[in-house]
Structure 1
Amino acid sequence: MEEKEARRLVESYTDMFMRIGTNYLKSTADAEDICQAVLVKYITSDPQFDSLEHEKAWVVRTAINMCKNELKSAFFRKTTALEEADDVKDITPPDLGITEEVMKLPRNYRISIYLFYYEGYSAKEIAELLGKRESAINMYLSRGRKKLKLSIMNDLGMVKRVNG
């Protein structure tokens, strides 16, 4: 592979790999590892594509698969994130943005919302990428939006509390 082609790959897809990796693994360092692994796989396997959309779908699917494999690894199953440790104080600022709220959603909702809103994929395309039914993706998007709305309204103190 020529240096020019390698540069195009890095410039075109690095940000997307980082966002996908961060969405799945919730760690910038782990996302960087996934980014590097996908680029290495692309360079070493030298896949042939019909179009740029075909190439993009391949790299997204490869990044997602690598993230899923990483989550199955013994390291991820046997470690706890520093933020989840009992003796660590919460240092998260109270004023969170939308991206942080999206990151709090369950994985299926988070990934569907990310691919739909941040990468511009349709529900049908997301279903194909994730190997799920389009109806499931629409459900994840709907429920994810509702959870996101409630979370943001709760953070703003706009949720009415009912005495029960």
Structure 2
Amino acid sequence: MGDDDIVKREHFANIVNKYADMVLRLALTYLGNRADAQDVYQDVFNKLFKYERPFNDAEHEKAWIIRVTMNTCKYVIRSPWKKWFAVIEDMPDRHIENLDIVSVVITLPRKYRLVIHLYYYEGYKTAEISNIFEHQREHCPDTVKTSKGITERKDVGRMGR
């Protein structure tokens, strides 16, 4: 193994250590079950390992990882396997009484989950979330506002930040 390979592996290990929890939390928030979230986690870091181009900076790197995580989650949901074999016990309970923030977020409609996760857990501002959701920029502020309204009605706003 050459010096370049060692440097690449060390750099990759540092990135995995830096973003592992975030990727798993995002996937779990979006998908609602640990098994699928762990599959997404593996896929995201496999894609990162194969990614050849350098990132502009740390924010570009993080945004790329978030974007790949979201797209991989969407692929899992659309997969024929998922449609045929939904895991019933992993479906979130729709009755919200004295649940923690994660349980509340999982009960939200899917399109709001990632927005809320990025806002409350990762500390992104509305404009930053709009940049991550590039193809939906014009709708993102409304989605963030709606998401925050839903979660505040369910007391997530007080549990979050």
TM-score over 0.5 for the alignment?
A: yes
Which shifted more, 137-146 or 52-61? 137-146
Task: Tell me, yes or no, if the aligned pair for 2:133 and 2:140 is still in contact at 8 Å.
Answer: no
> Matched residue of 1:32: which SS?
helix
Aligned-pair identity (%):
30
Residue range with higher mean Cα deviation, 59-68 or 41-50:
41-50
- Deviation of 1:137 after TM superposition, in Å, equals 2.1
The separation in 1 between residues aligned to 2:88 and 2:70, in whole angstroms, is: 24
| TM-score normalised by L of structure 1 | 0.78
Q: 1:104 to 1:49 in 2, by over 3 A?
A: same
Alignment partner of 2:80 out of 74, 84, 88:
74
Query: Is residue 128 from structure 1 mapped to residue 134 from structure 2 by the alignment?
Result: no
Alpha-carbon distance in 2 for matches of 1:148, 1:50: 34
SS, match of residue 139 in structure 2: helix
Quick one: distance in 1 between partners of 2:96 and 2:155? 14
Unmatched 5+ stretches in structure 1: 154-164
Residue equivalent to 2:108: 105
Q: 1:13 offset after TM fit, Å? A: 0.8
How far the C-alpha of 1:126 sits from its partner, in A, is: 1.6
Alignment partners' CA distance in 2, 1:16 and 1:116: 13
- Within 2, Cα distance between the matches of 1:57 and 1:95? 33
Higher alpha-carbon Rg: 1
The residue that corresponds to 1:114 in the other structure is 117
Contact 1:9 1:39 in 2 (8 A): no
Q: Per the alignment, in what secondary structure is the counterpart of residue 50 of structure 1?
A: coil
- Aligned AA (1:61): R
2:88 corresponds to which letter in structure 1?
Answer: L
Which has the higher mean CA deviation after the structures are superposed, 122-131 or 51-60?
Answer: 122-131
Q: Which has the higher contact order (CA 8 A, sep 6+)?
A: 2
Please name the residue that 1:158 is paired with.
Answer: none
- State the aligned residue count: 148
> Structure 2: which 5+ runs fail to align?
157-161
- Displacement of 1:145 in angstroms is 2.5
Runs ≥4 residues deviating over 6 A: none
Contact 2:26 2:69 in 1 (8 A): yes
Is contact 1:21–1:67 with CA below 8 Å preserved after alignment?
A: yes
Match of 1:53 in 2: 59
Question: What is the CA RMSD across the aligned residues, in angstroms?
Answer: 2.5
1:70-110 CA deviation, whole Å, 9 max, x = no partner?
1110012223332388xxxx7x9953112211111111221
* Letter aligned with residue 137 of structure 1: C
Per-residue deviation at 1:18?
A: 0.3
| Secondary structure in 2 matching 1:46 | coil
Amino acid at match of 1:74: P
TM-score, structure 2 as length reference? 0.79
Q: Which moved more, 1:13-22 or 1:40-49?
A: 40-49
Q: How does 1:24-35 map to 2 (within 5 A)?
A: 24-35=30-41
